[in-house]
Chain A
Amino acid sequence: MAVVTPSQVSRKVHKPQRVGATYYAFLLPVLVLFSLAITLPAIMGIFYSFTNSVGFGDYYFIGVINYIALFSDPTILGAYGFTIGFSLVTVAVVNVAAFLLAIGLTSRIRGKVALRALYVLPMVVSGIVIAYVFNFLFSNSLPELASALGIAPLEKSLLANPDLAWVAIVIVTAWQAIPSTILIYIAGILAIPSDVYEAAALDGASGARQLWSITVPLTAGYILINVIIGFKNFLNSYDIIVGLTNGGPGTSTTSIAMSIFNGFTNGDYSYQMANATIFFFIAIAIALLQLRVTRGKASV
């Protein structure tokens, strides 16, 4: 879906002598809007990262000092560690769960339409709101339930445990991200011609064998898309974390996005803009890397 190669798009374009002005009129609003709302702010952010601005009032240039401070700041490095680790785990959890569910939802099941509708439903629920709901469950209901059942390790809230709070964030993020991932996998699985399976069945391949030798390779493009989009979204995680742990306990679940936004309210604007600039280049590098991998493999 996500990757359209030039050759595919250009296949039918005939050769008009001149491009109609209408085409420019169609494209320009988008380009102008995009440049004003995205490109310009990005450049401004980079500019301020070389100052000591708090976002308003007096400021002066301090060169690369923000960057120097950044690379020795354990809180920032911790945020990178947490965010990248959390994103990797969540991508894995979300894709494995969504892939299995998509296989289930495309197999010969009763109430297929209702089940699909239900599994996709969490997609429409706001992240911050569902995080508040889970916050209540983790802080109040689960500990009560655990102590009523006598399960001692669960009597303490998951959110209050510095070593495990990230698990709660993975759970809620996955809850919200699995539906759209399922949709794309359903599309991918349905696109596999059924005669491939029939041939495999004639050769006596087992269900597991078919899954591994047919379904997975033939949906590779979809897997890549889900991994790329998911990873990018998880790297930017903010509102679910705000609703669950607000970065705590301690600073154990502070994401990069969160430290950037916090810097803004905490008078650390330029410092966090340096952080944002680094984050920007890392995100671009990851995107390029993924595109490179994709170009080789995905023909979706």
Chain B
Amino acid sequence: MHPQRSTPLPALSRRSFLVGAGAIGAGLALAGCAAPGGAAGATEISFYVSKPEVIGYFDTLIAEFHKTQSTVRVIRDSTSNMSADFVRNRPPDLGCWNYNFSMVQFVERGALSDLSDISEADRINPDIKPLLAATADYPGRTSVIPYSLTAASVLYNRDLFEQYGVAVPTTWDELVRVCEVFLAAGISPFFNTYKDTWTVAQGLFDYTVGGMLDVSAFFTKLKTEGTAVDARSAVSFQKDFEEPMTRLGELAKYANSNAASRGYGDGNLAFAQGKAAMYLQGPWALNEFAKTNPAMKVGTFPLPVTNDPGDLKVRVNVDLALWIPEVSTKKDAARQFLSFLMQPEIQNKYNADNNAFGTTKDAPPTTNPALVGMQQYYDDAAFYLGASQLIPSGIPVANYAQSIALGSSPIPVLKQIDGDWARLALRS
């Protein structure tokens, strides 16, 4: 904006000091006014995308979009506080965000505009609609257009598996044996990163729950219980999640010893360096490994939590969905960019480049070798939405999962989640 203002002011008399202060103030005021307006003639829209792995990718897409037309200029935003933006009635004109608990408040309070009348809405794969509705729904509206679907399971180091002659496990007992083999060889079976709580929720928590329970049936029943969720209700966290959480605790024993102080970035680095055999992350991490170790061979398999291979399923989530807020004054411009992003050659390329699955009826199947291990489960619809993604964000489930991973006994924690659920039902 005015970088020259940053040079130190010359020796200050009070008067020059005040003048300088006034100038900076005026500069800021101008900057504040100028920012929303922008280049003459073109409509400037703000586009929110915060997924750290793909911010650069979208910058390239924005540049391409700017080349194709000159009426809409896109400003990317990756740092705004979304709730604050909605509260002050200045949300981004187009949002591109993970469709999970964090979207519930915007969808269910009717803050997102209806997109059912745009042509892209008809191209969406109907199988995905129930996934959207299970997370959040506003009756009579198409609040979001799903953009990218990811399937997550265990990522494993193919070279290490080969070197130690172990096969991909399909039952819990086999998994434990695999872990013992690596442990005996002095290799950490899993690399866990408890410092970033979302990684615990996404990996250990969701995989153990999804591998044992019918997640969507559980939450459907749970919603009918409302404020009555406790030890005596038909379903509850303390009854249904105890077994998966026990498994979680057992798996945590096979993790790196410093898991408690490692974060997502540390995990990506360590796994790419071959410091562990398995890593509970989604395909979004694959490109991060490539930054450290481009030649790395990674495979995927669903985490076996029971001894019945028929229970194997993968976790899916609508990794990115597009939406336009009701209060946006630039809906047409936003829709124009949305249509650009939804062009098959752009959307399919995004999903191929980022190891994700498409969301349209005509999306091609994935050819990525790292994802082949999941394709069959995906085709058979042997997948579930992550349980942690369906629990409202008022309940700090990732923190609870972290404390179980760190050794807390599951039952008191699960009782607390039941209580939180009942209180939330009471007040909403």
Q: Residues of A with Cβ closer than 8 Å to B? A: 52, 54-59, 62, 65-66, 68-69, 72-75, 138-140, 143, 155-157, 159-162, 246-252, 254, 262-271
Contact = CB atoms under 8 A, between A and B. Distances in A.
Contacts of B413: 250
Given A55-B83, A250-B402, A271 B427 contact: yes
Contacts of B393: 265-268
A250 B403 contact: yes
B402 A54 contact: no
B396 A65 contact: no
Contacts of B262: 139
Interface string B407-428: 0100001001001100110111
Given A54-B83, A56-B87, A265-B393, 5 more contacts: A57-B86, A246-B197, A265-B82, A265-B102, A266-B102
Given A56-B86, A74-B416, A267 B261 contact: no
Nearest to B327: A56
A157 B197 CA distance: 15
Contact of A251 (B260, B399, B423): B399
Interface string B248-265: 000000000110111000
| Interface SS of chain A | loop
Contacts of A69: 423-424, 426-427
A75 B402 contact: no
A143 B408 CA distance: 22
B79 interface: no
Question: Among B84, B87, B104, B413, which residue has the most Cβ atoms of chain A within 10 A?
Answer: B87
Interface in B264-309: none
Nearest to B412: A74
A271 B424 CA distance: 9
B383 interface: no
B195 interface: yes
B394 A159 contact: no
B261 A159 contact: yes
Contacts of B396: 75, 247, 251, 254, 262
B420 A75 contact: yes
Contact of B394 (A139, A248, A271): A271
The 5 tightest CB contacts between A and B, nearest first, are A57-B109, A160-B260, A250-B403, A267-B105, A157-B261
Contacts of B20: none
A52 B262 CA distance: 38
7 contacts: A143-B261, A160-B194, A250-B408, A267-B394, A268-B393, A271-B394, A271-B427
B109 A162 contact: no
B191 to A, nearest CB: 15
B83 A139 contact: no
Contacts of B344: none
B403 A160 contact: no
Contacts of A74: 416, 419
B394 A266 contact: yes
Interface in B52-103: 81-84, 86-87, 89, 102
A73 B111 contact: no
Contacts of B89: 56
Given A56-B89, A58-B109, A268-B394, A139 B195 contact: yes
A141 B406 CA distance: 21
B110 interface: yes
B326 to A, nearest CB: 8
Nearest to A247: B399
A155 B260 CA distance: 11
B83 A52 contact: no
Interface in B181-214: 194-195, 197
A186 to B, nearest CB: 28
Given A265-B82, A271-B394, A55 B87 contact: yes
Contacts of A161: 260
A249 B83 contact: no
A143 B82 CA distance: 36
Question: Among B102, B394, B419, which residue has the most Cβ atoms of chain A within 10 A?
Answer: B394
Contacts of B394: 263, 266-268, 271
Question: Among A57, A65, A139, which residue has the most Cβ atoms of chain B within 10 A?
Answer: A57
